[in-house]
Amino acid sequence: MEDLKNYKKVWQDQEYTDNQLDSDTITKMIHRRSSSIVKWIFYISVLEFAVLTLINIFAKTDWDELKDMGLYHFIIGISIITYIVPLLFIYLFYKNYKSISVTNNTKELIQSILKTRNTVKYYIYTILSIYAFAILYGFSVAIQAPEYLDIIANYGDNGQLIVWGIVVLFTFLFLGIILLVYLLLYGILLKRLQANYKELLSN
């Protein structure tokens, strides 16, 4: 390692002479806005919570029709869950976000960033699962209504099976596309961080 020892000396003797920043410049600099990945994660996560919560609030529901279909209690239950779940996740997200500290060691820092991000990921998974369940359960009840039974009868003996197949396919296709776009964005944002974490954990 003799060669590297020589480089060590060169390294330690170096003096950065140009572009030295004076105290005025440094003072201005420290009051600028951080553009760190943690800030991005925070903004994106808040946006995700806001969008999903707004969809919940503004989703138009025809209560009378749902009552007729026998889905009233089911929809009430789902609505309560979709209000409680975000609150629970927002609390977890905030708790994890606060635990991110740049003065931790590198491993702990990366872990806390990934944990914060994962909270939002699990939130999306939970909400999407609730939606998938609600769509499928809602459909299974709705399909019993006489007007739907007539439509199904038009498809012949396998009518029930065909209609179910179409509904399940579209439900999963719809959720699959949302998930794919989401994971792609998520992957791009955290690619470097995950690679560094893997490298740190390797032997």
Partner 1 sequence: MTAELEQKFVKELETNQNIIHKVCRAYTNNASDHNDLFQEISIQLWKAYEKFRGDSKFSTWMYRVALNTAISLYRKSKRSIKTGELYDNLSELKYEAYDDSVEQQLDQLYKAIYTLNDIEKALVLLYLEDKPYKDIALCLGISEVNARVKMNRTKNKLKEILNP
Q: Kindly list the residues in this chain that would bind partner 1 in the complex (CB under 8 A).
A: 1, 3-4, 6-8, 10-23, 26-27, 29-30, 32-38, 40, 101-110, 113, 192-193, 195-196, 199-200, 203
Cα dihedral 67→71→74→78 (10° resolution):
-90
Minimum distance of partner 1 from residue 124's CB (angstroms): 22
Minimum distance of partner 1 from residue 191's CB (angstroms): 11
Minimum distance of partner 1 from residue 116's CB (angstroms): 12
Minimum distance of partner 1 from residue 187's CB (angstroms): 15
Please report, for residues 65, 114, 115, 138, 148, the alpha-carbon distance to residue 121 in angstroms, rounded to integers and kept in the order given. Answer: 34, 10, 10, 25, 37
Q: How many CB atoms lie within 10 A of CB 88?
A: 11
Q: Is the dihedral of CA 36, 41, 43, 44 positive or negative?
A: positive
Q: Which is nearer to partner 1, 68 or 108 (CB)?
A: 108
Q: Which is nearer to partner 1, 154 or 203 (CB)?
A: 203
Residue 45's closest CA among 53, 55, 57? 53
Q: Which is nearer to partner 1, 82 or 96 (CB)?
A: 96
